[in-house]
Amino acid sequence: MASATQRIQTKHSQLRSYVFLTVALFACLLPFSGKAFNIDDTLFVYVARQITQHPLDPFGFKVNWFLDAVPMAYETKNPPFASYYIAAAASFVGWSERALHLAFLLPALAVVWGTYRLAQRFTNSPLLAAAATLLTPAFLVSANSVMCDTMMLALWLWAIIFWIEGLEPRKPWYLALSVLLITLCALTKYFGAALIVLLAAYSLARQRRFGSWAWYLLLPILVLTEYQHWTKTVYGLRMITSAAHFSTGMRQTRQSSILAKALVDLSFVGGCALPALTLAPLLWPRKKILVVCIASAIVGFLISTGRMFLGKNLWPFEFYPHWFLVGIQLTLLIAAGFSVMWLAAADAWKRRDADSLLLMLWVFGTFIFAGFVNWIINVRSVLPLVPAAGILFARRVDTLRVHPLRWRAVTLAVALAAAGGLSLWLTWADTELANSARTAATVIEQRTRNQPGAVWFTGHWGFQYYMESFGAHAVVVDDPPHRTGDYLAVAENSRLFEMRPAFVTACEVIQIPMNLGITTAQRELGAGFYSADWGPLPFAIGPVPPERYALIQLGPSRASTNAAQKDWLQCQ
């Protein structure tokens, strides 16, 4: 009777946790559901529109992303499954930003629920693990997009869940469902194929031998091999191999050292798994925290003052204008990243079982891929380790005996609230940044409406989506705009060529203020959430300059007039 009562109480407790996590997720993401399309959202939406017309030919069109129209199969580095999801969702809810962001709440919810479900096997504090995943900048900002990353992570988590639960006692249907999810995960983002190696290593550690389970893992290998053949036949290239060659080439051009890549990688891990920073006083002794912070401060300020080389073409300044702010933030985030890596290693060393090996390989494998295999370090590549980090936090808290339970709960709540508050602040700022491109495109459309000349633009991401939505044309480098009366709109972050003053009749600068004091993408502050080309921090706090766009009218120069000279200087 007691056992039955205990099981009922456990089920009720789990149900309350699932409800709490659902409400928390919706509360965090619904306010931002009207966010403009941003970064590679545009590419995923373009592929989805193609799918609605030609379901079996997702990449059969051209896109001008970098001053030249090329086949989409050569431009994109992602498989099409996320775009199929967009196309399916849009057939029911439409193509608006809000509709598609609401559709992507489902994979986001699957991530949070999946973390809780998986953490029940690994820790006595699964709710802590799930909350530490939800309340991170990596998850909230990524979940507020229509790119493939959150969907890939959802499939990744549930593939692990069904594999572990299907291994012992043997449940063939669970294993079959797991390999289906592995396959879909890899067809959402190629990194998903790493699950094959991860689960094979876990199974060997758990069963100490190869078993019939190994045959299941052949299915995703066969499907991905066939995918390679199909893309070669249809598009003329093996897309997985092409993405790998692209990454190799981009890494070689940067010429950055192993140490530099490792430090930036640690910074991104610390920023992605932000509770590692806010929970640090609870997780580690003060002396260890002090030693790690001193070491992090040394390398952090070497980077921020330009004394450490990060790689060719990555360094926009001899040193950062706000070098002290950048140095302080690098100190904290590198230390937090080191905390995550040390937790994974220490947990595996202490427990020495299959579960701890899985978590360590999960964290270290993602770290190595993001820093040393992918074409550039970015938060989207680090995101997969966030649930594993949340589980490691919870496992570490399980071992603590120094605080009474009540005070420990208060400490955890405060730490998670601090991480969540900063993550929401950043999500708001990223929304503001994305919306600025939509606002700029709207202003440009209003300025050029009913004008006889065509409108051209340079710049991509969300700016390209909104410019093309009102009929503007992306510039082609071999045939740049030159007709009198035409307009050229230039995003400040995409100034790929210069206009001569002799061909400019008028130039207007459109400035969109950034008011929140935190950013995901700003070179002067070293913030490179979407690409470490922008800086060694995943995000940065500080004075964020406005987003600037130049609207140039082509024609005979009026440079002799003071007004024209002033306009032209502002555009430079």
Q: Annotate 329-383 with three-state secondary structure.
A: HHHHHHHHHHHHHHHHHHHHHHHCCHHHHHHHHHHHHHHHHHHHHCCCCCHHHHH
pLDDT at 9: 64
Count other C-beta atoms under 10 Å from residue 509's C-beta: 16
- Domain final residue, candidates 387, 403, 428: 428
Is the CB of residue 391 less than 8 Å from the CB of residue 129? yes
Q: Are 412 and 469 in the same domain?
A: no
Q: Are 121 and 187 in the same domain?
A: yes
Which pairing describes strands 504-512 and 547-554: parallel, antiparallel, or unpaired?
antiparallel
Distance CA 201, CA 215 (A): 14
Distance CA 521, CA 389 (A): 24
DSSP letter, residue 471: T
Burial state string for 458-477 with b = 16 or more CB within 10 A and e = fewer than 16: bbbbbbbbbbbeeebebbee
pLDDT at 565: 46
φ and ψ of 445, to 5 deg: -60, -40
Q: Are 318 and 413 in the same domain?
A: yes
Q: Are 241 and 290 in the same domain?
A: yes
pLDDT at 312: 52
Count other C-beta atoms under 10 Å from residue 307's C-beta: 10
Residue 486's closest CA among 495, 475, 477, 478? 475
Which residues of the chain have a pLDDT value below 50? 1, 313-317, 496, 560-562, 564-565, 568-569
pLDDT at 317: 46
Distance CA 384, CA 154 (A): 9
Which pairing describes strands 473-474 and 62-64: parallel, antiparallel, or unpaired?
unpaired
The domain total for the chain is: 2
Residue 174's closest CA among 209, 204, 199? 199
Distance CA 164, CA 174 (A): 9
Side-chain half-sphere exposure of 90, counting CA atoms within 13 A: 20
Task: Provide the residue range defining the domain that includes 112.
Answer: 2-428
pLDDT at 322: 84
- Domain final residue, candidates 384, 411, 428: 428
Q: Are 437 and 424 in the same domain?
A: no
Q: Are 463 and 475 in the same domain?
A: yes
Q: Whose structure tokens read 């203020």? A: 513
For residue 169, is the peptide bond before it cis, meaning its omega torsion is within 30 degrees of 0? Answer: yes
Distance CA 117, CA 99 (A): 28
Distance CA 413, CA 335 (A): 21
φ and ψ of 455, to 5 deg: -110, 125
pLDDT at 553: 86
Q: Are 209 and 234 in the same domain?
A: yes
Distance CA 187, CA 543 (A): 40
- Domain final residue, candidates 428, 444, 471: 428
Q: Are 22 and 81 in the same domain?
A: yes
Q: Are 297 and 392 in the same domain?
A: yes
Residue 519 β-bridge partners: 540
φ and ψ of 456, to 5 deg: -115, 165
Written as six digits, the tokens of 381 are 């590549």
Q: Are 350 and 492 in the same domain?
A: no
Q: Are 278 and 329 in the same domain?
A: yes
Which pairing describes strands 455-458 and 473-474: parallel, antiparallel, or unpaired?
parallel
Q: Are 365 and 470 in the same domain?
A: no
Residue 416's closest CA among 390, 386, 380, 392? 390
pLDDT at 568: 44
Is the CB of residue 87 less than 8 Å from the CB of residue 48? yes
Written as six digits, the tokens of 124 are 């006595």
Side-chain half-sphere exposure of 322, counting CA atoms within 13 A: 19
3-class state of residue 283 by DSSP: helix
Is the CB of residue 24 less than 8 Å from the CB of residue 131? yes
